[in-house]
Amino acid sequence: MSERTLDQWLEWFEHVHPLEMDLRLDRVEEVSKHLGIRHLPCPVITVGGTNGKGSTVSYLESIYRQAGYKTGATISPHILRFNERIRVNGEDVDDERLCRWFSEVEAKRGDVALTFFEFAILGAVYGFVESGVDVIILEVGLGGRLDAANLWDADVAVVTNVSLDHEQWLGRGRDAIGREKAGIARAGRPCVVGDLDPPFGLTTQLQAIGCDLIQNGVDYLVRDLDEQFTIDGYGEFPRPGMIGHWQLSNAACAVIASTALSDRLPVSKAHQAAGIADTVVTGRMQVREVAGRQVMFDVGHNPAAAQMGVDAIKAISPKGRVLAVSAIMSDKAYQEVAALWCQAVDVWYVGNLQMSRALKSSVYTEVLNELNAEVTDHPQLIDAFDQALSDSEPGDLVVVFGSFYTVEAVMRHLQPS
């Protein structure tokens, strides 16, 4: 069993449980007890929300590393390598350690069926404890209340925002989604809410839980000062390196969460400022130069993320055209996403991804035609990207977006052979 490679483990995960998702905590709890990790020796910060979770986890990770603490963090999904999901001290964990940690989970799970995400997070938390980290920062995979990351009581919880996504799992509308996301909070413990307009379902459920609610726009206010930003009551901080005004909210969540935990893990304002300035997250409004052209990658795949993308392009203010390279999943609100992006895009290049969930490019093209967009349809997404890059001129911005799989496909295509 321990001789499996990481790829073999990942393939094995797909067969341990018949369902991709099974939102219950009893199985994870049982295996965690066998692993000796039901209760953890260090503080836990759990980060939920529709958008901005990965960025907020990364800000927290960077702040604590600046303060000299050893961190363990999970994010999901990955873009190029599974190892991106599990980090110790800001570094992706190598294959050998991951395989060893997963072997422990397999040895202790008995006949308990675990989903892919459950197996992965149990292995990650077991490894964090073995590695002696000072703080564990967990990104919620889906929702909150029944997500495997919610097995462990958060010393501080963060809900970045609540938008429409995964409604087939979490319920229809922001209120229903908010109630699920509130489930990561604990009575008498801080919960930071970054949403300026949180749904009633979120706030009422947090009140029912009895957490110490710290809410954006009520308990603190974020002000943009161009080169810096301020958080009322917390001070002035450097503007994050990542594009987008919403990153101020994500960074503020990290500052406030780390301050709320300072009785156990002291951090200074200097640590927080340096951590914010030092944070970069792959695939989140990430701009790279490719063949002399500016290319922006964004994994956003819901309407709220699409609006953020449009705002990011306005902030970049390219001198030339905006050329979109896109593929999206068929279970997403692709019509609304396309309509929002049309505010900023001059020409669309769509192509197919080789997966059953992906929206066929012919359907995507029909949607864009109905929006009177200029669009070309290509057999494969990579063909679409190559054509966009070929058609681009100096000053143009090529934007790759629509899903993690879209960004992954193009980034793999650009890797040296």
> Positive or negative, the Cα torsion across 21, 187, 65, 124?
negative
Most confidently modeled range among 84-98, 243-257, 289-303: 84-98
Statement: the pTM of the whole predicted model exceeds 0.75: yes
**What is the C-alpha separation between 2 and 96, in angstroms, rounded?**
10
- For the segment 67-103, what is each residue's pLDDT rounded down to a tens digit? 999 999 999 888 889 999 999 999 999 999 999 999 9
Most confidently modeled range among 13-17, 177-181, 256-260: 256-260
Mean pLDDT of the chain: 91
Q: Set out the domains of the chain in order of their start, with CATH numbers.
A: 6-277 (3.40.1190.10), 286-414 (3.90.190.20)
**What is the C-alpha separation between 98 and 101, in angstroms, rounded?**
5
According to the model, what pLDDT value does residue 1 have? Answer: 45
Per-residue confidence band for 2, with pLDDT thresholds at 50, 70 and 90: low
Mean pLDDT, residues 384-398: 96
Mean pLDDT, residues 35-62: 95
Q: Per mean pLDDT, which range of 196-200, 269-273, 284-288 is the poorest?
A: 284-288
Q: Per mean pLDDT, which range of 16-20, 103-107, 266-270, 316-320 is the poorest?
A: 16-20
Per-residue confidence band for 315, with pLDDT thresholds at 50, 70 and 90: confident
The residue assigned the tokens 């629509």 is: 402
- For the segment 154-193, what is each residue's pLDDT rounded down to a tens digit? 999 999 988 765 555 555 678 888 988 899 999 999 999 9
- For the segment 223-248, what is each residue's pLDDT rounded down to a tens digit? 988 788 999 989 999 988 887 778 99
Q: Which residue, 16, 380, 344, is CA-closest to 8?
A: 16
The residue assigned the tokens 């000053």 is: 395
